[in-house]
Amino acid sequence: MRFKKDKIGGNMAFRLVGLLLLLGLIAVFPYLFADQYFLHVVIMANIIAMFALSWNLISGYMGLVNFGQCMFFGAGAYLIGFLTKAYNISPPIGILLGGLAAVLLSLIVGIPCLRLRGAYYSIATLGFSQVLFTLSLALPKITGGEEGIHGIPKFIQSVEGNYYFSFLLLLLSLGALTLLLRSRFGKRFISIREDERLSEAAGIDTSRCKINGTAISAFVAGVAGAYFCYYQTQVTPDVISEGLTFSGMAAVVFGGLGTLFGPILGAYVLTFLDEYLYFLMDYRLIVYPLVIMLMLIFSPSGIFGLLRGWIKERAYGNPSGSESNKKL
Amino acid sequence: MLAQVILSGFLLGGTYALMAVGLSLTLGVMHIINLAHGLFYTLGSFIIYTLVVQPKVNSFLALILTFIVVFLVGLIIERILIRPIRDSHLNVMIATFALAIFAEQCIHLGWGVKYLSAPPFIKGEFQIGQVILDYQRLLSFAIGMALVAILAIVLKKTKLGKATRMVQQDREMAMVLGINVNLISMVVFGLGAALAAAAGCLLAPLYLIFPAMGWNPLLISFAIVILGGMGSIGGTVIGGILFGLTTLLTSYFISSGMVNVVPFLAIIATLLIRPSGFFGKSIF
């Protein structure tokens, strides 16, 4: 027992030092590499990472596989588009409102979907997002149609400023989700994923938990969408397209479903692959799904799961001897 | 004009139903959500186009060849991609989605970005009163319904069909009874793929052929499966026809831009009233 405690204590200190080093690196990074394009890719990765985190909360931790997560991102982005066209609101409030718009949408979508389970839930959410996507194209007077809404003033002018702000948002959401999932409240989500009926029998109000969880997830996605809109200075129907949902899903699966750092790692790897494999042109979209398929077949717990397993094995040894079994 | 729209919707719905039956089969028997179903539809269209346009194979023969080829492709995909990850719904969904994108890009590189169109199986049209019908639509409907009927008979009467229904009801019990569950899964996946490909062949002369053509039919078949209930062939056919009718009536009365909205609202409403569709039992 004493041995285990020591290990955990060491682990905590190791994590703290690692976290501080990482924060330091993030802070000084723009001064070391002034490559603007690289910073832009980091900003995009941060936005995708936030989106992936939000999807991971609802699908990885609560077990509700949402195929329409893009609609929450889109709600935030389109709200900024509408508001800046009509009113002059300050961007920080705009970002908050974007999150709240997504929460509102999550209630509209989430409450009727509460009764649905498994695949039915997934398909209903896909249906909702598809309806919204079609509406964004079919109502050009409100949404600008295929062109979208352009000319939204940039919130922060410099790339470095955006770099820091996107990290601020990402770290805030990561911190909030970490605290949430360590609390009693968050543990209920996991218990719903593991066995919904049993959780209900144990006295958890599963309906309320699901609505709350969906709302929190939507808030994070909405904030990411609103910020994305300010950063790109435009909104197009791409923000509620299935492509976005699947890039978030891919990041989560690549990194590791139901882990906190996995989605961020996945978002980074995939965004950088996406941007820097540009020379492959048409072959890029062949390599990318191939990597995901191979990943799923050979390492379903994602890169993060693979790494964690490896580190644990190194730190604690392998008492169960599964490695020797594998060799046989 | 309205009669024309209703009849076209009815006939179109029959072909949709064919595709949805394939999806319903994989969903019901294998309990997986196959997002590559639209890919098999695309594959069907492209293979029949290549066979009919280049070596000038007879359309009916090409249909049979396409069916067999895509069936084999389905077998291979089940063995390599689906079987290792079948236990996790989410992983299967993402893997099949990745597969669909992967294949779409391969088709893109192979055939280019052009919009293609295949020649009809038979030419000509006839008129009853105000309604003009081309033979191709009727034929597509007839072949589609015939395939669905054959499938229903196979499932009901043959030994393979009985084993399949056993697997659908209880996978582990089927294993205990000595049914080769893995083989059944492989055949079912191949059949589902081949049915989607047949729908692709039958609609190839009516619609444009391009690499991304499969996504819309994929969503439509999900919609139909929900309307009809999973694992019920009759329900799926009715759902398909209802869907074909709603689609064309929407574009006739409201606007063609709203084609995707009304049917999806219908599905959402259906799910809210009856969370497992109108005709089927809940599987998940």
Do residues A285 and A297 make contact, with C-beta atoms less than 8 angstroms apart?
no
Q: Give the confidence band of A71 by pLDDT, cuts at 50, 70, 90.
A: very high
Chain B CA closest to residue A295: B95
Would you state the pLDDT for residue A176? 92
CB-CB contact of A72 with A105 (8 Å)? yes
Residue A4 burial (C-beta neighbours within 10 Å; 0-12, 13-18, 19+)? exposed
- Among A51, A58, A23, smallest CA distance to A186 is for A58
Percent of chain B with pLDDT over 90: 15
B108 shares contact with chain A (CB less than 8 Å) = yes
B76 close to A (CB below 8 A): no
Return the pLDDT at A74: 93
Q: Are B53 and B280 in contact (CB under 8 A)?
A: no
Please tell me the least confidently modeled range out of A183-192, B2-11, B148-157, B272-281: B272-281
Nearest-5° angle of CA A248, CA A249, CA A255? Answer: 90
Q: Give the distance from residue B106's alpha carbon to the nearest chain A alpha carbon, in angstroms.
A: 7
Are A236 and A147 in contact by the 8 Å Cβ rule? The answer is yes
- Mutate one of B34, B37, B79, B97 to test the A interface: name it (highest A CB count within 10 A): B97
Which chain A residue lies closest to B262 (C-alpha atoms)?
A131
Q: If pLDDT is split at 50, 70 and 90, which confidence band does A202 have?
A: confident
Give the pLDDT confidence score for residue A245 in this predicted structure. Answer: 85
> What would the two tokens of residue B131 be?
């309604």
Q: How far apart are CA A50 and CA A64, in angstroms?
A: 18
Nearest residue of chain A to residue B226 (CA atoms): A120
Residue type, A203: G
Q: Does B138 or A242 have the greater pLDDT score? A: B138
Tell me the per-residue pLDDT of A271-315, one tens digit each, with 9 for 90 and over: 888 887 777 666 767 777 887 788 888 877 777 777 777 777 777
Q: What is the ipTM of this complex?
A: 0.79
**What pLDDT is recorded for position A5?**
43
Longest pairwise C-alpha distance within chain B: 60
Q: Does the pLDDT of residue B144 top 60, yes or no?
A: yes
Write the DSSP string, B97-132.
Answer: HHHHHHHHHHHHHHH-S--B-PPPSS--EEEETTEE
Q: Within a 10 A sphere around the Cβ of B75, how many other Cβ atoms?
A: 18
State the DSSP string of A25-66: HHHHHHHH---HHHHHHHHHHHHHHHHHHHHIIIIIIS----
Share the mean pLDDT of chain B.
84
Tens of pLDDT, residue by residue over A112-135, are 787 777 777 887 888 788 888 888
Contacts of B268 in chain A (CB under 8 A): 112, 124, 127-128, 131
Residue A2: predicted pLDDT: 42
Q: Which two tokens stand for residue A23?
A: 């924060």
Q: What pLDDT score was predicted for residue A297?
A: 85
CB-based contacts of A196-199 (< 8 A; 24+ apart in sequence): A196/A117
pLDDT at A103: 95
The three-point CA angle A283-A284-A286 to 5° equals: 65
B91 contacts chain A (CB < 8 A) = yes
Binned at pLDDT 50, 70 and 90, residue A269 comes out as: confident
CB contact set of A63 (below 8 Å; sequence gap of 6+): A192, A193, A194
Q: What is the DSSP string of A210-262?
A: HHHHHHHHHHHHHHHHHHHHHHHTEE-GGGGSHHHHHHHHHHHHHH-TT-SSH
Q: What is the pLDDT of residue A224?
A: 94
Percent of chain A with pLDDT over 70: 91
Chain A contact for B222 (CB, 8 A cutoff): yes
Give the number of A-B residue pairs with CB atoms closer than 8 Å: 116
Encode A86-134 in three state secondary structure: HCCCCHHHHHHHHHHHHHHHHHHHHHHHCCCCHHHHHHHHHHHHHHHHH
Helix (H) or strand (E) holding B10: helix B2-25
Q: What is the pLDDT of residue A282?
A: 65
Place of tokens 């190791």: A14
Q: Which of B44-53, B184-193, B212-221 has the lowest mean pLDDT?
A: B212-221
Answer whether A293 sits within 8 Å of B109, measured CB to CB: no
Q: Is the CB of A296 less than 8 angstroms away from the CB of B91?
A: yes
Token couple for A5: 């405690």
Sequence-ordered list of residues with C-beta below 8 angstroms from that of B263, at least 6 positions apart, any chain: B220, B223, B243, B246, B247, B250
Calculate how close chain A gets to B85, using CA atoms only, in Å.
Answer: 6
Asked if pLDDT for residue A222 goes beyond 90, the answer is yes
Quote the CA–CA distance of B164 and A2 in Å, as a whole number: 55
Tell how far CA A65 is from the center of its chain.
13
| Chain A contact for B99 (CB, 8 A cutoff) | yes
Q: How far apart are CA B138 and CA B125, in angstroms?
A: 10
Mean pLDDT of chain A: 82
Residue bearing the bigger pLDDT, A220 or A68: A220
CA angle A51/A55/A56 to nearest 5° reads: 115
Per-residue pLDDT at A170 exceeds 90: yes
Nearest to B100 by CA among B255, B218, B254: B218
Question: For B40-50, what is the mean pLDDT?
Answer: 91
Give me the pLDDT at residue A38, please. Answer: 86
State the pLDDT at residue B275.
67
Asked if A292 and B98 touch (Cβ cutoff 8 Å), the reply is yes
Distance between CA A218 and CA B234 in Å, rounded?
38
Strands B131-134 and A234-235: unpaired
Rounded average pLDDT over A29-39 = 80
CB B117, CB B205: distance < 8 Å: yes
Least confident of A131-145, A262-276, B228-242, B252-266: B252-266
Mutate to test the interface with A, among B94, B222, B259 (most CBs of A within 10 A): B94
Contacts B266 to A, Cβ<8 Å? none
Q: Say whether B271 and A122 touch across the interface (CB within 8 A).
A: no
- Among A224, A186, A275, A193, smallest CA distance to A101 is for A224
Q: Which residue from A minimizes the CA distance to B102?
A: A286
Between CA A130 and CA A242 the distance in angstroms is 8
Distance of residue A128 Cα from the nearest chain B Cα, in angstroms: 7
Give the pLDDT score at A326: 39
Of A73-82, A86-95, A262-271, A315-324, which gets the smallest average pLDDT? Answer: A315-324
Residues from chain B contacting residue A246 (CB–CB below 8 Å): 94, 97
* Separation in Å, CA A311 to CA A14, A304, A318, B32: 13, 10, 11, 33
Contact at CB, A130 and B93, closer than 8 angstroms:
no
CB contact under 8 A, B105 and A282: yes
A241, A296, A298: best to mutate for the B interface, most B CBs within 10 A: A296
Residue A8 confidence (pLDDT): 47
CB-CB under 8 Å, B275 with A138: no
Which residue has better confidence, A314 or B198? B198
Task: Identify the band that residue B263 occupies on the pLDDT scale cut at 50, 70 and 90.
Answer: low
Assess whether pLDDT exceeds 70 at residue A1.
Answer: no
Does residue A4 surpass a pLDDT of 60?
no
Confidence band, pLDDT 50/70/90 cuts, at residue A26: confident
- The owner of tokens 């609101």 is A89
Taking alpha carbons only, the member of B6, B233, B16, B1 closest to residue B141 is B16
Range from A14-23, A166-175, B203-212 that averages highest in pLDDT: A166-175
pLDDT over 90 at B85, yes or no: no
**Are A297 and B82 spatial neighbours (Cβ–Cβ below 8 Å)?**
no
Give contacts of B255 with chain A, Cβ < 8 Å.
Answer: 138
CB pair distance less than 8 Å for A119 and B272: no
CB atoms within 10 A of CB A188: 21
CA A318 to chain centre: 32
| A29: pLDDT strictly greater than 90 | no
What mean pLDDT comes out for the span A207-224?
A: 92
* C-alpha to C-alpha distance for A77 and B217, rounded to whole angstroms: 29
Q: How far is B220 from chain A (nearest CA, A)?
A: 10
Whether residue A135 and residue B91 make contact (CB cut-off 8 A), yes or no, is no
Query: Does the pLDDT of residue A110 top 50, yes or no?
Result: yes
A182, containing H or E segment: helix A159-182
Report the helix count and the strand count for chain B, using DSSP H and E: 12, 2
